[in-house]
Amino acid sequence: MNYLVISCIGPDQTGLVDTLSKVINQHNGNWQVSSLHHLSGYFAGVIEVAVTEEQTQSLAEAIKAINGLSCQIEVAEPNLPPVESNLVLELTANDRAGIVQDVSSVIHQQGGNLVKLVSSQDSAAHSGQVMFKAKVQIAIADGHTDALIESLEQLADDLMVDISR
C-alpha cells in the first residue's frame, strides 16, 4: 500500500471535491485525512490517500489531469514514525504582519516541532480590531513546555496563550 500526499490549488468551483473523490474512488484509493479550504476565491487542499502500488501511477496521473486544478503529489515513506503532538495551544493577539513567523520561530528555538497550525482573523467584539487566532499542535519534549509558553507570551503584551490539550 502506498500513501499519497496530494496538495491542490485552483479557482474555486462547485464540484471540485466531488471530482477529486470520484477520481480517487475510481482508482480504489481510500481518502484518509484532508484539510480543504476556500481562500480568496481559490480552492486549496491537502489530502492523504491510501492506494495500492498498482494503482498509484494511474491515480496520480488522473488527479493531475483534473481541469482547473494544479496538484502536486508525493508518495509518503511508510517507514517514518508518525509525529504526534503532545501540546495544543490556542493563541490570540492583535493581528500584525509577521506574527506567524514570530510564533513558529519561538517554537523552533524552544525545541518544538510545529505539527499543525490553523489560523484565522476575526474582529474584536467591542473595538473592531482585527484579531489573530490560531490553534497549534506541537511536539515538544516533556519539561520544555513551560519555557515554550513563557517565550510565546513574551512575544507581545497582547498575546494570550491557552493550553487546550
- Whether residue 9 contacts residue 69, with contact meaning beta carbons closer than 8 Å, is answered with yes
Residue ranges and CATH numbers for the domains of the chain are 2-75 (3.30.70.260), 87-163 (3.30.70.260)
- Nearest alpha carbon to residue 30 among 9, 73, 1: 1
- pLDDT at 79 (0 to 100): 67
Q: What Rg value do the Cα atoms of the chain yield, rounded?
A: 19
Least confident of 55-59, 78-82, 93-97, 108-112: 78-82
pLDDT for 64 beyond 90: yes
What ranges make up the beta strands (E) of 12-159?
30-39, 42-51, 70-75, 87-94, 113-123, 130-139
- pLDDT at 80 (0 to 100): 64
Name residue 90's amino acid: E
